[in-house]
Structure 1
Amino acid sequence: MSRHARRTSLLAEDLPGGGYRAVFAVREFRAIFAAHVLSVLGGVFAEVALVVLVFRQTGSALLSALIFALGFMPYALSGVLLSGLADRHPPRRLLVICDLLSAACMITMAVPRTPLAALFVLRCAVAMIAPLFTGTRAASLADSLQGDLYVLGRSLVRIVAQTSQIIGYGLGGLALVWLPARVALCVAGATFLCSALLLRLGTHERPARASASGTAMRQSLASAGRLLGDRRVRALLLMWWIPPMFFVVAEGVAAPYADAASAGSAGLGLFLAAMPTGTVVGEVLAGTMLGPAARDRIALPLAAVSMLPMAAFAFHPSLLAGAALMLLTGACAAYTLGMDRWFVEAVPDQMRGRAMSLLGAGIMTLQGVGMAAGGALAEVFPPHAVICGAGAIGTYGVLGVLRSVRRTGEHVHPGPR
């Protein structure tokens, strides 16, 4: 970390008021946060526009669903094979390049008469870039924010992502009433260009964390093996990966659940918005009302009970009661504020970018698996039974992972490095 960056971080720790206000007092974080908001908006616009564009061109529900699903599918491949790039190149340069490549892909998709096959290839390319970008950005946060400010900064990044699920797709769909899909893709490309400009002008240049030894692919594979071979890191990765895989089962069966409740599209929207709303509320309350030690203490208990509201679907609740249960599940996700600090402390600094890329890739990939599995099971079982089963099995799995997290942390002394 540069002398200027260290000075910025130390001053931020001493700011009065603390909490999220202290995070926004760090100028470099303001640039990173604004860039994140723009890239999230661009991603939402692109996803909605592509689904509309493909459906209008083909009339195929399968192809329009596939173009959306391609946002999940490449994560595992990219996270394992490209994560080595996150530490062997200066982070600011890599983030700017990722944004520029994403913008170029979206603007190319907006060109009239772009073949359908090219749309799928370009969509896949954007999805391949995403894990590398998010991993590098997450690692960079630890350079500009230290101690509890890093935890709160990560929390703000997640809050933006969850809020986009609540309102982003609705606004994207509304915008496409007036904007042609290809124009919306150009808008999405412009947001990524603005994000690149903010990162280039608003963040400090720092050297690469690791030397370039061997090919990026070989280094990525070796790093994944090393990270998964560490008992503490592996336990924390599983704690990040397992709960979301079961959380999204409810989203995967939301449509048949709302249909069974005769709730219509309004009921479906309410049900889908419940869990991300709970997540935002839980993170904001934990970030503003609790200190670092308290957030550490509640992390494991919250994770342990996070899926019990889903298990309560055994009683076949009404859609409104089901939405309330999903709101509770989302609120329990505040356990991630404790997990953030544990993970960054467990990972060697020179591997931080690769670890964050692997973490993000695992979350997205297993979410795709969970959503697909939930949809397949809903073909055979009632939707409320599928959600209940996910809650029960997920709770059992999480309890096993929590034992590993607790056991590997017994000799770890928490506290900012």
Structure 2
Amino acid sequence: MPDQTTTPSAPAAPTGYLRLFQVREFRAVFAAHAVSLLGLVVAEIALSVLVYDQTGSPLLSALTFALGFLPYLIGGTLLASLADRHPARRVLVLCDLVCAACVAPMAVPGTGIAVLLALRCGLAVVAPVFQGTRMATLADILGDGDLFVLGRSLLRIVSQSALLTGFGLGGVLLTATSPRHALLITVGTFLGSAALLRFGTRRRPARTRAGGALVADSLRGARQVLAHRRVRVLLLLFWIPPLFAVVPEALAAPYAAGLGAGSAGLGLLMCALPVGTIAGELFAGARLRPATRERIALPLVCVTLLPYAGYALRPGLAVSLLLLVLSGAGAAYTLGLDQWLVRDVPGELRGRAMTLLTAGLMTFQGVGMALAGVAAEFAGVTVTVAGAGLLGTAVCAVLAGEARRTRHAAPATERRDRADRHMTGG
């Protein structure tokens, strides 16, 4: 009688985002990101409540959120070279410890408002250095290929998810404890992140040798990054769409009031764009091949803001939510841009380029929110959002054309290889 036994098939290899968790160092980076992000969300809520309780001023309470945007430009330009002239793990751990040191005095009773706001600025100055260094480190851990793109995407998805759940959970936390005690939780999360990065990632040498003063070196590095035509247009493609994309978020409160949607409608309007972004990135990362993600990047960036034009028809709540979800889903273009950026930035400038990217992203969003408020004062909410969609689409189309013209520029690594072969007669 024939043998009916069969050899058990090997388990299927993980695909999509699951592949990332086979890399031990990425697991540490991912856990550190989640832990520190939780702490930051708790700190923002607790600090705004603390400031309002002490002053009774809505303006000063709102200013604690605004200070999360404004100092990014300072840290991202004046301190950017830290990401390349020191070992990455040391920079990451030091940034976490500095953040913990900034939050700890906030929890001390009697700390004045001016000190609280100054410490909040300190967090925002350090943030772009930390995020830029972490992005560059991801390329070291995951390589310059598809795993890096998926890793970046997953960290963004976690950040977007925090917008949906973090503030609600933070509000619940503050019903059980005081703002100052909540800030102590934030101190613990930053220390936990530092420990995860210190013991979960390996030491790598600095990308470049330190030369000259820190600020001068940072500014010189920024000029070198922006002098490269291809890298410059890619950075603009990261920065410009969010400048326009934040307009509905900035105007969500008056728009919800105009619709008579109440606080529930406001909450839905604030959630719709992140929901679309998460769905778009998950689909592109899990279901599309790397070549496909690169191929659709420029078409997507040209249409991602177009749904905003529908606000000109003064839609109701349901249609407005649909427009926002569609626009958010178009943000999947960033997966293609990630691949191009890590491929075309010289390795010795990668940390500075990623830090500059983070600083510019936050700064442009802050500027977009401010301009949206000014425009709405004169043109009204619906006209401002629709205008942002049309103007943003036109600007993105111009940038996409420039990106297409520069796509055949040799990647930085290829240029260096050719130069080395020429010098050696190869």
TM-score with structure 1 setting the length: 0.95
Q: Check whether the contact 1:232–1:408 (CA below 8 A) recurs between aligned residues.
A: yes
Alignment of 1:255-274 (within 5 A): 255-274=253-272
Secondary structure at the aligned position of 1:378 is classed as helix
| CA shift for structure 1 position 376 | 2.0
Q: Deviations over 1:365-414 (max 9, x none)?
A: 01000011112222222211111011011011111111111111034579
Asked if 1:253 corresponds to 2:238, the answer is no
For residue 131 of structure 1, what is the aligned residue in structure 2? 128
Does residue 1:94 correspond to 2:97, yes or no? no
Residue 406 of structure 1 corresponds to 404
SS in 1 for 2:378: coil
Report 1:9-408 matches (<5 A).
16-146=13-143, 147-408=145-406
Is the CA contact 2:25–2:201 (under 8 Å) kept in the aligned structure 1? yes
Q: Distance in 1 between matches of 2:154 and 2:407?
A: 26
2:423 equivalent in structure 1: none
Contact 1:243 1:394 in 2 (8 A): yes
Segment of structure 1 superposing worse, 312-321 or 119-128: 312-321
Q: What is aligned with 1:5?
A: none
Distance 2:192 2:291 in 1: 38
1:212 partner SS: coil
8 Å contact kept, 1:279–1:332: yes
Residue 204 of structure 1: CA displacement?
0.6
CA distance in 2, matches of 1:263, 1:301: 34
Give me the whole-angstrom Cα distance separating, in 1, the residues matched to 2:410 and 2:326: 31
Range moving further from structure 2, 390-399 or 378-387: 378-387
SS at match of 1:121: helix
Determine helix, strand or coil for the equivalent of 2:379: coil
* Number of the residue aligned with 1:12: none
CA distance in 1, matches of 2:181, 2:409: 55
1:86-122, Cα deviation, whole Å (9 max, x unpaired) = 1001000110010011011111111000011100110
Q: Is the 8 A contact 2:344 2:413 kept in 1?
A: no
Paired with 1:267 and 1:144, the residues of 2 have a C-alpha distance of 42
* Deviates further, 177-186 or 373-382: 373-382
Check the 8 A contact 2:20/2:151 in 1, yes or no.
yes
Checking the alignment, whether the CA contact within 8 Å between 1:91 and 1:206 is kept in structure 2 is yes
Say which is worse superposed, 35-44 or 370-379, in terms of deviation.
370-379
TM-score by length of 2: 0.93
Q: Is the 8 A contact 2:102 2:123 kept in 1?
A: yes
Q: Structure 1's 413 and 113: CA in aligned 2 closer, same or farther, altered over 3 A? A: closer
| 8 Å contact from structure 2 (residues 344, 412) kept in 1 | no
The offset of 1:17, in angstroms, is 3.0
Cα RMSD (Å): 1.5
Encode CA deviations 1:11-39: one digit per residue, 9 max, x unaligned. Answer: xxxx9333111111101000000000011
Q: Distance in 2 between matches of 1:344 and 1:263?
A: 43
Q: Is the 8 A contact 1:342 1:414 kept in 2?
A: no
Query: For the residues of structure 2 that align with 1:409 and 1:127, how far apart are their CA atoms?
Result: 34
SS in 2 for 1:210: coil
Q: Radius of gyration: which is bigger?
A: 2
1:321 is displaced (CA, Å) by 1.0
Q: Secondary structure at the match of 2:138?
A: helix
Percent identity over the alignment?
A: 54
- Residue by residue over 1:104-144, the C-alpha shift from the partner in whole angstroms, topping out at 9 and shown as x without a partner, is 11111110000111001100001000000000000000000
Q: Distance in 1 between matches of 2:98 and 2:253?
A: 35
Structure 2 residues not aligned, in runs of 5+: 1-11, 418-426
Q: Secondary structure at the match of 1:107?
A: helix
Alpha-carbon displacement from aligned partner over 1:215-259 (angstroms, at most 9, x marks no partner): 111111001111111100100010000000100011100000000
